[in-house]
Amino acid sequence: MTSRSALFLISVAGLAVAAPAVADPRAQIRGEMDAELRAQLERAVGEVDAPPSNRFEARRRARGAMEAAEALLRSEGYYQPVLEDVVEGEETPVAIVDVTPGPRFELTPPAINWLSPTPDPDVAAEVSAGLELSAGDPGRAVDVIAAEGRIVAGLTRRGHADARAEPRRVVVDHATFTVQPTYNIAAGPLVRLNGVRLETSGPTRPNWVAGLAPWSEGEVYDPEDVAELERRLLETGVYDGVGVALAPADQTTPEGHRPIIVTLTDRPRRILEAGATFSTAEGSGVDLLWTWHNRFGRADTLVWQARAADIDSRLGADLSLPHWGRPGRTLRLSGAVLNEDTDAYRRTAVALAADLRQRLGKTSWFSYGLGLDAGRYDENRFDPVTQAPINFERDLVILTGRGSAYLDRSDDPLDPTTGWRLSGSAQPTLVGGQGSSVFVRAEAQATAYLPLQDNATTVLAGRVRLGSIIGGEELTVPSDRLFYSGGGGSVRGYEYQGVGPRLPDNTPRGGLSLFEAAVEIRRDVWRNFQAVAFLDAGAIGFQETPNFNNLRYGAGVGVRYRLPFGPIRADIAFPIDRREGDADFQIYVSIGQAF
């Protein structure tokens, strides 16, 4: 034997040892039947780790398999099967079940026997139409049972909250090969709702909870209304648990109405949190958040924030009042004293804002409001007339109308694998003080996620962002309202505000328009780890329409580590066609995917 032959045999032997053992069926299925029924029988019979060691064990397996096969056949409407357990072979016995399914029994028109009190004839007719059983259908047990559940569910949706099914009667006629189901249904009385009764003590005001009910006193019970009240309470984010249920029948009011009982489990009233961020492009920062829950007894959230960072430091507060004036609408009031120190400008200001956000579905929304900023600006700018840099300090007061919308059709807020998202905003702005202008700042962004393999093992993600300032001039628009690009949230590989032309002193030149695009490949590699490769692009323009002539590109790789609340992201990116002043690479660490 040559050394190459020996190596081949050793390799084959190694593969044989490494290969997982193949399970054997508990018994073989024989007989004439269609492929689907055979597959069902094989699944019902099951598998074992090893063949039987003797005829006695083979006989035991065959009988057990025959019982499982018979149960499966009856559940599928075969009520006259002929089955035989067989053992073949002496030294290597084989368990076999020989199956003759016989005729498949068919359903006759199902009947409903309404027990007193009977429902309204129209309700009874609607519920009966939802049986989804027709004469001539296979007499499958699962279909018969499921139809009973649909009857009770249909009654519940139409106000019969206490509807229940009594033992049904199913007649299997072996002479006509039919199955006749008769359902005995107690519909119970029609239930009308009273108000809401809050049974747990705590800071939440009972009258505020009652105002969230999507029904009026005396309306017919609808389980969807009850579920909606639960959703409205949960979405406030201030409760660890919410219970919403119809009161028992013995708590019916003299008017014949029944209340809805609400129980709430409050989150801690005070929560202190600290966080940190870091990137080579935007520097580091530390956040301290002190959150007060339910301070005013209406599921409100008040957040005090202190942030110290290289670019953006601030002290402020943010108050959210959910379900303000109507369900799903949140009033948000915010105020902050801030100091921004970027390469393009420095700003010290007081910022106030009030917004109303209306929820659309679970994660989509639109909002509108006003913002008022007043502060001192120190700006290095470019004068398009003289074509020279200019520096000036000025005090400005800025009134901004704020309108935005967000449409989310993705499957996860922090780690999406399929779907898409659209967002847009428009901000009419009036500038006063040492300089005046009127303009509209508009933005739009679209992202999409496409799984390339089963279970989203590999995902292709893309992003496009457009921006334009309409009616303003480059020199009169405040620096913080111009467009900039570069950094971990835009074009990776460049420092913060590092995409676009620069002044002679290397100060970024903000623009009147913006274009950004990105594409990522995300691949699960091991357990909770994911590898990422990406290409980003961006450009700053000095007219209202985006300019694609000065596109800058960045590329890189990254890793994600998935935690229960979302992935931790670490990326390294490199500028393509690096200019003087651009770093060789940038590193970004944060929570959540890049987009």
For 221-234, what is each residue's pLDDT tens digit? 999 999 999 999 99
Per residue in 341-389, pLDDT tens?
A: 888 889 999 999 999 999 887 789 999 999 999 999 998 887 777 777 8
H or E stretch at 368: strand 364-383
Per residue in 75-130, pLDDT tens?
A: 999 999 999 999 988 888 999 999 999 999 999 999 999 998 889 999 999 999 88
pLDDT of residue 89: 86
Q: Six-digit token pair at 260?
A: 């809805």
Those residues whose C-beta lies under 8 Å from the C-beta of residue 15, and which sit 6 or more positions away, are none
DSSP-derived 3-state class of residue 293: strand
Specify whether the CB–CB gap between 381 and 390 falls below 8 A: yes
How far apart, in whole angstroms, are the C-alpha atoms of residue 203 and residue 295? 8
Residue located via tokens 């901004």? 400
Per residue in 496-542, pLDDT tens?
A: 888 988 887 778 888 999 999 999 999 999 888 999 999 999 999 99
Those residues whose C-beta lies under 8 Å from the C-beta of residue 491, and which sit 6 or more positions away, are 485, 498, 499, 516, 518, 536, 537, 538, 552, 553, 554
How far apart, in whole angstroms, are the C-alpha atoms of residue 289 and residue 585? 32
pLDDT of residue 13: 36
pLDDT of residue 6: 37
Indicate if the pLDDT at residue 16 is higher than 70. no
Indicate if the pLDDT at residue 281 is higher than 80. no
- pLDDT category at 140 given cuts 50, 70, 90 is very high
Assign 3-class secondary structure to 537-579. Answer: EEEEECCCCCCCCCCEEEEEEEEEEEECCEEEEEEEEEEECCC
CA angle 540, 543, 548 (to 5 degrees): 45
Q: Six-digit token pair at 366?
A: 């639109």
DSSP per-residue codes, 63-104: HHHHHHHHHHHHHTT--S-EEEEEEE-SSS-EEEEEEE--PP
Report percent pLDDT > 90 for the chain.
Answer: 65
- The pLDDT of 20-26, averaged and rounded, is 66
How far apart, in whole angstroms, are the C-alpha atoms of residue 156 and residue 302? 40
Per residue in 533-582, pLDDT tens?
A: 999 999 999 999 888 888 999 999 999 998 877 788 899 999 998 888 78
DSSP-derived 3-state class of residue 481: helix
Q: Are strands 82-88 and 94-100 parallel, antiparallel or unpaired?
A: antiparallel
Per residue in 141-184, pLDDT tens?
A: 999 999 999 999 999 999 999 999 999 999 999 999 999 999 99
Q: Which domains are delineated in the chain?
A: 24-100 (3.10.20.310), 106-186 (3.10.20.310), 192-266 (3.10.20.310), 270-591 (2.40.160.50)
pLDDT of residue 382: 78
For the question of whether the overall pTM of this predicted structure is more than 0.85, the answer is: no
Per residue in 195-222, pLDDT tens?
A: 899 998 889 999 999 999 999 999 999 9
- Long-range contacts of the stretch 560-564 (C-beta < 8 A, 24+): 560/415, 560/522, 560/529, 560/530, 560/531, 560/532, 560/593, 561/528, 561/529, 561/530, 562/415, 562/528, 562/529, 562/530, 563/528
Average pLDDT of every residue of the chain: 89
